[in-house]
Amino acid sequence: MPSGINLNDRTPLYEQIELDIKKKIEDGVLLPGSSVGSQNDLIKDYSVSSITVKKALSNLVKEGILFTRVGMGTYVAEKRINKLDFSRHKSIGLVLQDLSHPFFAMIVQSVEERAYELGYNLLLSSSANKIEKEESQINHFREMGVDGLIIASLSLKYTASDYIQKIHDENFPYIMVSYIHDPDYWYIGSDQEAGGYIATEHLIKLGYNSIGYLHVEKENLLSEVRKNGYYRALTEHDIPYDSKLIYFLNKEPHEAISDRFKLGYKFGKEFKSLAKKPGALFIYSDLTALGFEQAAVEEGIRIPDDVAIVGFDDIQIARYSSVPLTTIHQPADKIGRKAVEIIQKRINGSDIGNRTILKPSLIIRDSCGAKKKAASNPAITSSLAI
């Protein structure tokens, strides 16, 4: 078996190489200023591909453990002085998909406030929409000695990724604030299906019987869960489900999650040319809805007169759009605060449930047409909280 490599270990090979090099530095086998060997030497020593070696070395360079000399190789860095040892301080690591995402930005604020109140340092990292960086940051925080982790993962699968499975199996205190379907894992968030149901039922109560759903990528599990709520509302109100009213939006591989505004905008530009136009749309997220709204206004499509829309998330900018957006409110403040409290309980060994589901609520503004309809039909006023 290659030096430092355990093929029976589910830990990625590049991580095993990183750990092996770190151990050699700690044990004095590799001294500051000494070469770790050429890439070809490391490929032979570890019996791995060049890509694996490059990834391991790149991560160690980013951490400041190694440094490179152009054309000469990779060397052990001098020991850093006064490096803060977080294992001696109460600390929580927060790993996010994208710091620019408005929903997660709201969670960050409440996490920071509650962590401070409970006496924890908060270490914040953005994975910049790169799954490999997310994994690296989780490992890095653990090596720094954080007490627990709050994670907004990029994974869109039904099951947890390998590294989430690993920290779960090791019983390390963590909590997911991004949706994860598997009930065995630690998660806090809103009832996503209920949110889809509330949004769709609201449009039904307004008298719409042709309601579309603006779905993002087909592989996006969260979007599918919200669609389930949409489907259930139609079924319970005896409105036939029409697959032609489900519109899938697919982002380009290089696009970030926050670029879903662009997806909504693109669909808004195409809306006029649809052979069958719904009278209302439940849209996956506020960002997507706001993109659709901007394009619709540019194309002369009147909201809500030509098409009513309801978003999801209740991000702050939604209330200030050209047509204030009706949306499903996710209690981001409560999610962030409770996430910290759950981590604290797990650190202290308290026996608590692993899933905390909060109830979403409807925020009625102008984009759904409720106020206009209520003005002309008093019966609607009695059924809606306007």
117 and 211 assigned to the same domain: no
pLDDT band, residue 262 (cuts 50/70/90): very high
- What local confidence, expressed as pLDDT, does residue 92 receive? 95
Task: Give the end-to-end CA distance of the chain in Å, rounded to a whole number.
Answer: 69
Q: Would you say residue 369 lies in a domain?
A: yes
349 and 366 assigned to the same domain: no
CA 231 vs. chain centroid, Å, equals: 24
Q: What residues make up the domain containing 351?
A: 86-189+333-356
CA 279 vs. chain centroid, Å, equals: 31
112 and 147 assigned to the same domain: yes
- How many angstroms separate the CA atoms of 333 and 107, rounded? 6
CATH of the domain at 100: 3.40.50.2300
240 and 318 assigned to the same domain: yes
375 and 255 assigned to the same domain: yes
243 and 349 assigned to the same domain: no
CATH of the domain at 37: 1.10.10.10
- Residue 201, pLDDT > 50, answer yes
Q: Would you say residue 1 lies in a domain?
A: no
Q: With 0-12 CB in 10 A as exposed, 13-18 as middle and 19+ as buried, what is 174?
A: buried
- How many angstroms separate the CA atoms of 174 and 273, rounded? 47
Q: Would you say residue 259 lies in a domain?
A: yes
pLDDT band, residue 137 (cuts 50/70/90): confident
Q: What is the pTM of this model?
A: 0.75
pLDDT band, residue 11 (cuts 50/70/90): confident
**Is the C-alpha dihedral spanning 232, 238, 243, 249 positive or negative?**
negative
- Give me 225's structure tokens: 């869960």
Q: Could you give the angle at the alpha carbon of 247 between the alpha carbons of 194 and 154, nearest 5°?
A: 65
- What local confidence, expressed as pLDDT, does residue 27 receive? 83
Largest CA distance in the chain: 82
Flag the least confident range among 2-16, 181-195, 279-293, 325-339: 2-16
- How many angstroms separate the CA atoms of 209 and 240, rounded? 9
Query: CA-CA distances (angstroms) from residue 292 to 244, 265, 267, 314?
Result: 18, 4, 6, 16
240 and 372 assigned to the same domain: yes
**Beta strands at 326-329 and 211-215: parallel, antiparallel or unpaired:** unpaired
Q: Find the mean pLDDT for residues 311-331.
A: 96
Question: What's the order of all strands across the beta sheet hosting 246-248?
Answer: 246-248, 211-215, 280-283, 308-313, 326-329, 361-363
Span 205-234, pLDDT tens digits: 999 999 999 998 888 889 999 999 999 999
Nearest one of 74, 102, 148 to 348, comparing CA atoms? 148
- Residue 86, pLDDT > 70, answer no
63 and 212 assigned to the same domain: no
Query: What one-character DSSP code corresponds to residue 77?
Result: P
Q: Would you say residue 373 lies in a domain?
A: yes
Query: CA-CA distances (angstroms) from residue 378 to 58, 206, 326, 347, 383?
Result: 66, 12, 20, 54, 9
* Domain count for the chain: 3
Residues 144 and 123 sit within 8 Å (Cβ to Cβ): yes
347 and 321 assigned to the same domain: no
Q: Would you say residue 5 lies in a domain?
A: no
In the predicted model, what is the mean pLDDT of the chain? 87
Residues 362 and 372 sit within 8 Å (Cβ to Cβ): no
pLDDT band, residue 83 (cuts 50/70/90): very low
Higher per-residue confidence, 98 vs 333: 333
The last residue of a domain, from among 76, 107, 123: 76
Span 47-82, pLDDT tens digits: 888 888 888 898 888 888 888 876 678 899 886 544
216 and 297 assigned to the same domain: yes
120 and 204 assigned to the same domain: no
134 and 213 assigned to the same domain: no
What contacts 24+ positions apart, CB below 8 Å, involve 375-379?
none
The H-assigned helical ranges of the chain are 13-26, 39-46, 50-62, 102-117, 131-144, 162-169, 192-205, 221-236, 260-270, 286-298, 332-347, 370-376, 378-383
**Is the C-alpha dihedral spanning 35, 37, 42, 43 positive or negative?**
positive
- What local confidence, expressed as pLDDT, does residue 386 receive? 45
